[in-house]
Amino acid sequence: MRLLSQKNSSQAEHIFAAVAQVLGQAPLAFWGAELLSGQDEGALGWITINYVLGLLVKYSFSGEWIRPPEGTLVGALDMGGASTQITFVPRGPIRDESAQASFRLYGFEHRVYTHSYPCFGRDQMLNRLLARLVQSSPAPRVRHPCYHSGYVDSLSLAPLYESPCVQAAPPPDFPPSLPVEGTGNPGACVSAIRELFNFPSCHGREDCAFNGVYQPPVRGQFYAFSNFYHTFHFLNLTAGQPLATVNATVWEFCQKPWKLVEAAWPEQQPWLRDHCASGLYILTLLLEGYGFSEETWSSIAFRKQAGGADIGWTLGYMLNLTNMIPAEAPAQWRAESHAVWVASVVFAALTLAAILTVAAAQLLWPRD
């Protein structure tokens, strides 16, 4: 929706108005529909993780609410289709106020570093990568190093250049479709992916990620979810394997002939061809972008859930919107166990999501 707002703001406004009209007629305390910023999405995902893990506040043996050490809080690595976010509590002050989100939860102030990178989500990264390869291709057939050897297809170019993330102009007199051939070359694939980043803009700076964006050095444990998890789950790399094993597994997969890949995972079409690029992109982003190393790689856990709840921004949004995490520490411990409390909040979030889905279906369903 953020990309649609960037590309066609009036269309995005019409969608929000239609959603507000439908939900406004429902027996709900509807407060309005708005576009969530990328930074808010990252910060709310951070709240979700640390809330369901029970890390925001502790009840001591002496009968007092205590603030857990900041080093025990878990950072959030989120990757959707259009953008990717990183959120964590750094060591020391955050020197860029625009990259800081502040919360008062259970009587304690939390200041986190958070940044969202538009157009660096999985789908838009793939679009930008293909557009760059089209621009640099001297022949009518594009040789894609991230597609498996033996893969051949004809891809439509019109949707590619409709994306606001693709800055390059289409080639003159470009055909509606273009033959694409996979070469299965992970080294060339990594080189092409690196061109999507501006790493020189951060050369010599420890507090910079890429594209000149300020970022303190990473600290503590992290949960990587959404497309981080989905890609590594497909590659069977969510069990805490060391970096050397992860890197070797991704490269080995990229070098498999397309016939073998297609036969082994027939149910994965049409995303099967993109897992190689996604795996190498994640490694490039985490290591060269965010600054993780072989020593800190073990601090990343690729997870779909935390504390029995799916990870995402929606639960954090519900908690923040309804003040279910009080600003001040409660006078006494809640009667329910943490698992029951989390389950109740998750149920409320899922109920709201179901209502929104039904409302959208009624709005978009073709009428006679």
Instruction: Write out pLDDT tens, residues 115-170.
Output: 999 999 999 999 999 999 998 887 678 999 999 999 999 988 888 888 889 987 77
- Residue with the bigger pLDDT between 328 and 366: it is 328
Q: Which amino acid is at 197?
A: F
Binding-site residue set for ATP: 81-85
From 42-56, 177-191, 251-265, 319-333, the region with the lowest mean pLDDT: 319-333
Residue 261, in any domain of the structure: no
Residue 92, in any domain of the structure: yes
Residue 141's pLDDT is 85
Q: pLDDT tens digit string along 87-126?
A: 999 999 999 999 999 988 777 888 999 999 999 999 999 9
Residue 338, in any domain of the structure: yes
| Residue 260 dihedral angles phi and psi, to the nearest 5° | -70, -40
335 lies in which domain range?
A: 2-116+308-364
Cα 140 from Cα 175, distance rounded (Å): 9
Mean pLDDT of the chain: 85
DSSP letter assigned to residue 327: S
Residue 336's pLDDT is 41
Three-class DSSP category at 54: coil
In which band, very low, low, confident or very high, does the pLDDT at 329 lie, cut at 50, 70 and 90?
low
Indicate the number of domains in the chain: 1
Specify whether the CB–CB gap between 56 and 106 falls below 8 A: yes
Residue 313, in any domain of the structure: yes
Q: pLDDT tens digit string along 264-318?
A: 998 887 889 999 999 999 999 999 999 999 999 999 999 999 988 899 988 888 8
Cα–Cα–Cα angle for 303, 209, 278, rounded to 5 degrees: 45
Cα 5 from Cα 11, distance rounded (Å): 7
What percentage of the chain carries pLDDT values higher than 70? 82
Residue 91, in any domain of the structure: yes
- Residue with the bigger pLDDT between 270 and 257: it is 257
- Residue with the bigger pLDDT between 99 and 328: it is 99
Point out the residues that are catalytic.
41
Residue 188, in any domain of the structure: no
Residue 44, in any domain of the structure: yes
Look up the pTM and report it: 0.83
Residue 54, in any domain of the structure: yes
Specify whether the CB–CB gap between 327 and 107 falls below 8 A: yes
Sequence-ordered list of residues with C-beta below 8 angstroms from that of 133, at least 6 positions apart, any chain = 142, 143, 144, 192
Binding-site residue set: 81-85
